[in-house]
Amino acid sequence: MPENVVAKNIIIMGPQGSGKSTQGKLLAEKMNAYYFSTGERYRTIAKENSDLGQKVKAFLDAGELVDDPTTFELMDRELSYTQGGFVVDGFPRTLVQAEREMVPADNVIYLKVDKDQFIKRLEHRGREDDTPEQIATRLRLYEEKTVPILNYYREQGKLIEINGNGTVEEVHTLILAALGMTR
Ligand code: AMP
């Protein structure tokens, strides 16, 4: 196996604006692994002119989480595309989703970012679903629903906490080091 190619399955977590998509993609590239983001998939689905598209758009517009049956179906499909390792960004988002154990993760990377940092980053990324109301709803949901998952993975000994406040390069380096990979 070439150096740095590690068949690992990684979940990347962090609040909105923590850089998890940027870091997830960089890591997947380095690992030669399949990357997918449930949020990205949902933003694409929301543009489709279909019942599913309309349903998903309503959740996204409200800043709410998409319902579990729809999300489990999306995950089943995406996981069926993965062969070697993969990096999942955006799933699980709730303890119920985590406890379903759909993702055979070796490690869960949690990007810890100070609140003023991620608010600043969100102001710059200019995504359609980044109105102040949507941001506030997602932040509340994150604290209520997603933070409890951290303990779940901590107890399984899978959680790796990374200081996500640095530059893209700095954070990438920290992630590789924590996974025992060289640059
Ligand atoms: P993200 O790009 O990860 O911030 O996700 C954007 C939006 O997609 C979220 O606000 C949710 O509406 C939806 N979404 C992404 N992942 C999930 C998930 N695992 N469960 C439910 N909804 C999700």
Question: Cα separation of 130 and 122, whole Å?
Answer: 7
pTM beyond 0.85, yes or no: yes
CA 93 from centre of chain: 8
Name the pLDDT band for 7 (thresholds 50, 70, 90).
low
Find out whether 103 and 92 touch, Cβ atoms under 8 Å.
yes
Q: For residue range 98-138, what is the model confidence (pLDDT) as tens digits?
A: 999 999 999 999 999 998 888 888 888 888 888 888 888 98
Q: Whose CA is nearest to atom 14 of ligand 1?
A: 39
User: What is the Å distance from ligand 1's center to 183 Cα?
Assistant: 30
Q: For residue range 22-62, what is the model confidence (pLDDT) as tens digits?
A: 999 999 999 999 999 999 999 999 999 999 999 999 999 99
CB of 66 shorter than 6 A to ligand 1 = yes
Mean pLDDT of all residues in 59-87: 94
Give the type of residue at 32: N
> How buried is residue 1: exposed, middle or buried, by Cβ count under 10 Å (0-12/13-18/19+)?
exposed
- Closest ligand 1 atom to Cα of 138: 10
- CA distances, 150 to each of 27, 33, 110, 156, 157 (Å): 20, 23, 8, 10, 11
CB of 16 shorter than 6 A to ligand 1 = yes
Those residues with Cβ within 8 angstroms of residue 23's Cβ, 6 or more apart along the chain or in another chain: 12, 109, 111, 164, 168, 171, 172, 175
CB of 18 shorter than 6 A to ligand 1 = no
